[in-house]
Chains A and B, each alone.
Chain A
């Protein structure tokens, strides 16, 4: 079945970096966009951006530029979210979510139909 499997929880100190993985299975990874969504403790959902899994081109939402990097390893159908110079306010659950089929007119502009279970990143000294 189609699924996204994310890496496990992380506890990091301020200033450190973290890399979250999202491994796809059950579909052709490079045929669909891949989104990242953040949920701070007790808060709502915040879209961070998406990556074109065919070209590797990322699109970042405002507020997620600079310290946040989306990347891919298509050989293992895996997307990554790396956050550097971690701050306490980065403490959140990070979700990857499948977007629309690539090759259409506006591939990024699609609903998110398959979600990973989320990776909890805790930043604390």
Chain B
């Protein structure tokens, strides 16, 4: 199975400041035939289902604010919130869909400092 790790476990950022979450996969999730990274990011607020933010590592889902961006390739990925807003308080998960079983990172909790 591909093991997904995330860092940090949690972070507190001031409103308007940048938040950066890292995700690492135990093997590459880059599919060479189409040059796509099979990596998604989800946001989960308390009592709510996960919400898709980013797919193919860097494509923003429709309706997601442009302060959210994804980057990286192969085994190392980053989710950046460029200017943290109060409504961004949540747990963020990365997930690989390169091979089954699809696996999620343990989550990173983002809070306001």
With the chains together, A37 CA to B102 CA distance in Å?
10
Determine if A116 and B49 form an interchain contact, defined as CB atoms under 8 angstroms apart: yes
* A109 near B103: Cβ-Cβ < 8 Å: no
Q: Indicate if the CB atoms of A118 and B61 lie closer than 8 Å.
A: no
Kindly count the residue-residue contacts between A and B in the assembled complex, taking CB atoms under 8 Å apart. Answer: 59
Contact partners of B106 in chain A: CB under 8 A: 44
Contact with A along B90-112 (1 / 0, CB 8 A): 00010101111111111100000
Compute how far the CA of A61 lies from the CA of B42 in the bound complex, rounded to whole angstroms: 20
Interface size counted on chain A using CB atoms at 8 A: 22
Is A44 within 8 A of B100, CB to CB?
A: no
A121 to chain B, nearest CB (A): 15
Q: Is A109 a contact partner of B51 (Cβ separation < 8 A)?
A: no
Give chain B's interface secondary structure class: loop
Q: Are B104 and A45 in contact (CB under 8 A)?
A: yes
| Count of B interface residues, CB-CB < 8 Å | 25
Which of B40, B100, B104, B105 has the most C-beta atoms of chain A within 10 angstroms of its own C-beta?
B100
| Contact partners of A59 in chain B: CB under 8 A | 100
* Residues of chain A from 48 to 68 with CB closer than 8 A to chain B in the complex: 49, 59, 61-62
Inter-subunit contact A115/B49 (CB<8 Å): yes
Shortest CB-to-CB span from A24 to chain B, Å, is: 15
